[in-house]
C-alpha cells in the first residue's frame, strides 16, 4: 500500500484538535469583545462650559435719569435741593489752591471729571444758581431736569446732531417706524454728567475653545 | 451537486459538523463586529423624520406646505425642549435692504453682543458656537492678523487697543453662496444671506470660502438648556439646528423682518452698533454712511462688498 494514502493516526489528529480549539476560542473571544464594546457607554462629553452670567444679557441702560425716576415713581429726594439749601441764596463754591472745586461733604458722591484738565469745573456751568432744581445753558436759558439733551447739546453740538439722527447713543425697539416706536435714551442714561467718560468694565467671558484658550493656558481636555 | 458521500469521519455521528460549528463562530464574530462598528450611530439621537426627509426645497414650498413644515418644527422643538415655540417664515420686506454700521470709536470690547446673540439665536452652549468674535487690536493697525479674540482682561477697554467685532458681513457678492453645491444658502432681496438648515448637507465648503470666518458648523448635536431657549423663532433664522449643518449670523431675521433691531444692537451698552434700511434716506445707517468721515469694509480687496460697515467718530 502507498504510504501517502495512509490515514494519519494519533499525533496528527491531536494537532488538528489543538488548532480547532484555538480558532474557536479566538472567534468567541472576538465576538464577546465586540459585544462588550457595543454595549459600553458612549465616550464622555467634553467638560461642561458654565452658562454666561445673565448680567451680560441685560439690555437695560446703566443709569436712570430724573425723568426715569419720575416715571417709575421712585425716591426723588436727591433732587429736592431746597430741603437743605436756602431759597434765593446761591451756594458759594470753594476752590483749593490749585483752582479745583472743593466738593462739599454733602455731595461726596460727586466726582468732578467733566472735561479733561479741569476745564469744566464750575457747578454753575450747568446748574442754575438762582433755582437749584433747574439747570442752565451758557446763554442763561433755564432748562428743566428732564430736558437733558438740550443742556448737553448747548456745548456738544455735533454729538447732539448725531443723537437726533439716531447715530449717537443706544437704540432699541423698532427700526421700522411703521411697526413700532424706537426706544431712545438720553445723555444721562449712559453718561454721568459729573464725569461723563464711560467707565471701564468687566468683559463677558472669552470663547471656550475646543482645545483650550491659548490666552489663559486653560486646557479644555486633560493632557494626554 | 452530487449527493454528499458519507465519509468515515470521527465527528460524522455528532449533531454538528466541525465546519458548520466554525461557520457559526465566524458568523457570530462578524455580526458582533458589524454591531460594534455601527454603535456610534446610537449617539446620533436625532435622525430626521420621514416628513423632514421628504420635504421639498424651501423655494418650492407652497404656503400650505410651509404651514405643515412650521407645524412639524414646532412639534419637534416641543418634543425636545418641552417648550412650545412660535416658528414663523418671515419673508423679505419690499423696499428694504439691511445695512449694519459699527462705530469702532465707541466699542469697548465688553462682548455683551456675543452672548446676547447666543441667547437670541439658540446657539449651542457646549460646544460653544458664537457668531460674533470681538478682535482686540493694537492702535494704529487695521491688520486683523494682529487681532486677538481670546483676550481675558479684567476690565475693558484697555489703553492702546481698539476692539473690532466681526460677524457675517452679509456680502453683496457672497463667496459662500457660490460654493454651495446644493443651494442650501442664498442671498435674499433684503440683503441677508440665509441658510436652509433642512437642505444643508454639511460639506462645509461655505465655511472654507468665507473670508471672515463667519460660518459655524455643528460638529455635535447642539446643547441648549431648555430654560434659555428663545421660543420666538424663524424658519431661516434661529430655530434649533441639528448636528451636521452650518449656521451663521442672519441679522436676527426673526426680529429684523418683524421691524425690530437685532439683539446685538439692543444689548450694546455704548451704542456702537447701528442697523437699518439703507434704502430709507432718513435711517440711521443712511445718515452714518452720508455724514461720518471714515468707514471701511473689512477685507475690501476681496471684492465681497459687505453690507457691514465700520466707521469712526473722530
Question: What band does A221 get if pLDDT is binned at 50, 70 and 90?
Answer: very low
Task: Measure B55 CA to nearest chain A CA, in Å.
Answer: 31
Q: Cell digits for A118? A: 479741569
Percent of chain B with pLDDT over 90: 74
pLDDT, residue B279, reads 96
**What φ, ψ does residue A69 adopt, rounded to 5°?**
-65, -40
Higher pLDDT, B139 or A12: B139
Question: What band does A220 get if pLDDT is binned at 50, 70 and 90?
Answer: very low
Distance CA A171, CA A185 (A): 7
pLDDT, residue A7, reads 57
pLDDT, residue A215, reads 61
Q: Which of B59, B88, B117 is the last residue of a domain?
A: B88
Distance CA A193, CA A127 (A): 11
Is residue B42 domain-resident? no
Question: What band does B144 get if pLDDT is binned at 50, 70 and 90?
Answer: confident
Containing domain of residue B254, as a range?
Answer: 98-312
Cβ neighbours for A174, distance < 8 A, ≥ 6 positions apart: A180, A181, A182, B259, B260, B261
pLDDT tens digits along A51-109: 999 999 999 998 888 888 888 888 888 888 898 898 888 888 888 888 888 888 889 88
Cβ neighbours for B122, distance < 8 A, ≥ 6 positions apart: B222, B224, B229, B230, B233, B238, B239, B240, B241
The pLDDT mean for chain A works out to 84
- Beta-carbon separation of A34 and B287 below 8 A: no
Is residue B307 domain-resident? yes
Is residue B2 domain-resident? no
Residue B170 CA neighbour count, 13 Å, CB half: 21
Instruction: Give the A window 108-167 contacts with B, CB below 8 Å.
Output: 162, 165-167
Q: Judge if B74 and B144 occupy the same domain.
A: no
Q: Cell digits for B76? A: 419637534
- Number of folded domains in chain B? 2
One-letter-per-residue 3-state SS of A9-50: CCHHHHHHHHHHHHHHHHHHHHHHHHHHHHHCCCCCCCCCCC
* Nearest residue of B to residue A191, measured between CA atoms: B270
Q: Judge if B303 and B186 occupy the same domain.
A: yes
Percent of chain B with pLDDT over 70: 93
Residues in A closer than 8 angstroms to B115, CB to CB, are: 52, 56-57, 204
- Beta-carbon separation of B155 and A200 below 8 A: yes
Give, in order, the Cα–Cα distances in Å from A50 to each of B13, B125, B235, B264.
Answer: 69, 9, 28, 21
pLDDT, residue B33, reads 85
DSSP state of B282: T
What is the radius of gyration, based on Cα positions, of chain B? 27
pLDDT tens digits along B41-85: 766 656 677 888 889 999 999 999 999 999 999 999 999 999 999
| pLDDT(B4) > 80 | no
Is residue B18 domain-resident? no
pLDDT tens digits along A109-140: 888 888 877 777 788 989 998 899 999 998 88
Q: Judge if B105 and B177 occupy the same domain.
A: yes
- Beta-carbon separation of A175 and B43 below 8 A: no
| Pick among B7, B26, B29, B314 to test the A interface (most A CBs inside 10 A) | B29
* Nearest residue of B to residue A198, measured between CA atoms: B270
Residue B97 CA neighbour count, 13 Å, CB half: 14
B208-225 average pLDDT score: 93
Instruction: Give the A window 170-209 contacts with B, CB below 8 Å.
Output: 170-176, 178-180, 182, 190, 198, 200-209
Q: Judge if B153 and B54 occupy the same domain.
A: no
Residue with cell 454538528: B16
- Beta-carbon separation of B116 and A207 below 8 A: no
Q: Where are the alpha helices (DSSP H) in chain B?
A: 18-38, 50-53, 63-81, 112-120, 175-179, 205-209, 253-256, 263-267, 284-291
Give, in order, the Cα–Cα distances in Å from A132 to each of A64, A104, A122, B85.
Answer: 20, 16, 14, 53
Question: What band does A224 get if pLDDT is binned at 50, 70 and 90?
Answer: very low
Q: Judge if B129 and B270 occupy the same domain.
A: yes
- Its pTM stands at 0.81
Q: Judge if B77 and B169 occupy the same domain.
A: no
Q: Which of B88, B111, B142 is the last residue of a domain?
A: B88
pLDDT, residue B42, reads 67
Is residue B14 domain-resident? no
Residues in A closer than 8 angstroms to B269, CB to CB, are: 62, 170, 190, 201
Is residue B31 domain-resident? no
The pLDDT mean for chain B works out to 90
The domain that contains B307 carries what CATH number?
A: 3.30.70.20
Q: Which of B260, B293, B271, B220 is nearest to B98 (CA)?
A: B260
Question: What band does A2 get if pLDDT is binned at 50, 70 and 90?
Answer: low
Distance CA B22, CA B28 (A): 10
Q: Which of B298, B171, B227, B13 is nearest to A54 (CA)?
A: B227
H or E segment to which residue B295 belongs: strand B294-296
Lowest-confidence region among A114-123, B125-134, B303-312 = A114-123
Domain limits, chain A: 54-190
Size of interface A-B (CB pairs under 8 A): 177
pLDDT tens digits along B238-265: 999 998 999 999 999 999 999 999 999 9
End-to-end CA distance of chain A, in Å?
69
pLDDT tens digits along B84-94: 999 999 999 99
What is the radius of gyration, based on Cα positions, of chain A? 40
Is residue B3 domain-resident? no
Is residue B36 domain-resident? no
pLDDT tens digits along A186-197: 999 999 999 998
Distance CA A46, CA A218 (A): 14
| pLDDT(B1) > 60 | no
Amino acid at each position: 500500500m502507498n504510504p501517502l494514502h495512509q490515514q494519519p493516526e494519533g499525533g496528527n489528529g491531536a494537532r488538528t484538535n489543538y488548532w480547532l480549539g484555538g480558532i474557536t476560542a479566538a472567534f468567541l473571544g472576538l465576538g464577546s469583545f465586540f459585544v462588550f464594546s457595543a454595549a459600553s457607554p458612549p465616550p464622555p462629553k467634553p467638560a461642561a462650559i458654565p452658562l454666561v452670567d445673565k448680567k451680560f444679557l441685560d439690555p437695560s441702560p446703566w443709569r436712570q435719569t430724573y425723568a426715569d425716576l419720575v416715571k417709575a415713581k421712585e425716591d426723588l429726594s436727591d433732587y429736592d435741593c431746597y430741603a437743605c439749601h436756602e431759597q434765593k441764596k446761591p451756594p458759594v463754591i470753594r476752590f483749593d489752591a490749585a483752582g479745583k472745586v472743593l466738593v462739599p461733604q454733602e455731595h461726596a458722591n460727586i466726582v468732578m471729571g467733566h472735561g479733561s484738565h479741569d476745564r469744566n469745573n464750575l457747578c454753575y456751568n450747568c446748574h442754575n444758581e438762582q433755582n437749584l432744581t433747574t439747570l442752565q445753558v451758557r446763554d442763561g436759558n433755564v432748562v428743566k431736569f428732564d430736558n437733558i439733551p438740550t443742556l448737553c447739546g448747548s456745548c456738544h453740538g455735533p454729538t447732539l446732531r448725531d443723537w437726533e439722527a439716531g447715530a449717537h447713543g443706544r437704540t432699541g425697539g423698532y427700526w421700522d417706524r411703521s411697526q413700532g416706536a424706537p426706544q431712545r435714551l438720553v445723555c444721562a442714561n449712559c453718561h454721568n454728567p459729573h464725569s461723563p467718560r464711560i467707565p471701564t468694565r468687566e468683559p463677558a467671558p472669552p470663547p471656550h475653545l475646543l482645545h483650550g484658550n491659548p490666552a489663559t493656558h486653560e486646557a479644555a481636555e486633560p493632557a494626554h | 451537486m452530487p449527493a454528499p458521500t458519507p465519509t468515515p469521519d470521527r465527528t460524522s455521528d455528532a449533531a454538528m459538523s466541525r465546519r458548520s460549528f466554525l461557520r457559526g463562530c465566524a458568523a457570530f464574530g462578524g455580526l458582533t463586529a458589524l454591531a460594534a462598528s455601527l454603535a456610534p450611530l446610537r449617539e446620533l439621537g436625532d435622525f430626521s423624520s420621514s416628513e423632514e426627509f421628504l420635504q421639498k426645497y424651501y423655494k418650492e414650498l407652497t404656503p400650505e406646505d410651509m404651514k405643515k413644515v412650521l407645524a412639524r418644527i414646532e412639534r419637534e422643538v416641543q418634543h425636545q425642549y418641552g417648550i412650545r415655540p412660535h416658528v414663523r417664515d418671515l419673508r423679505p420686506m419690499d423696499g428694504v435692504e439691511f445695512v449694519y454700521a459699527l462705530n469702532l470709536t465707541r466699542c469697548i470690547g465688553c462682548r455683551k453682543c456675543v452672548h446676547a446673540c447666543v441667547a437670541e439665536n439658540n446657539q449651542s452652549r457646549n460646544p460653544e458656537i458664537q457668531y460674533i468674535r470681538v478682535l482686540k487690536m493694537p492702535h494704529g493697525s487695521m491688520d486683523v492678523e494682529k487681532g486677538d479674540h481670546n483676550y481675558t482682561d479684567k476690565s475693558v477697554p484697555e489703553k492702546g487697543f481698539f476692539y473690532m467685532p466681526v460677524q457675517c458681513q452679509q456680502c453683496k457678492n457672497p463667496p459662500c453662496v457660490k460654493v454651495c453645491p446644493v443651494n442650501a444658502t442664498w442671498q435674499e432681496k433684503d440683503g441677508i444671506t440665509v441658510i436652509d438648515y433642512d437642505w444643508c448637507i454639511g460639506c462645509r465648503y461655505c465655511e472654507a470660502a468665507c473670508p471672515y470666518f463667519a460660518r459655524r458648523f455643528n460638529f455635535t448635536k447642539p446643547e441648549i438648556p431648555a430654560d434659555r431657549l428663545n421660543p420666538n423663532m424663524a424658519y431661516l433664522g434661529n430655530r434649533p439646528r441639528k448636528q451636521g449643518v452650518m449656521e451663521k449670523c442672519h441679522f436676527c431675521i426673526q426680529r429684523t423682518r418683524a421691524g425690530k433691531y437685532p439683539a446685538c444692537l439692543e444689548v450694546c451698552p455704548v451704542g456702537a452698533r447701528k442697523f437699518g434700511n439703507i434704502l430709507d434716506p432718513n435711517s440711521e445707517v443712511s445718515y452714518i454712511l452720508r455724514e461720518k468721515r471714515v468707514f471701511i469694509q473689512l477685507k475690501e480687496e476681496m471684492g465681497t462688498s459687505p453690507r457691514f460697515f465700520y466707521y469712526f467718530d473722530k
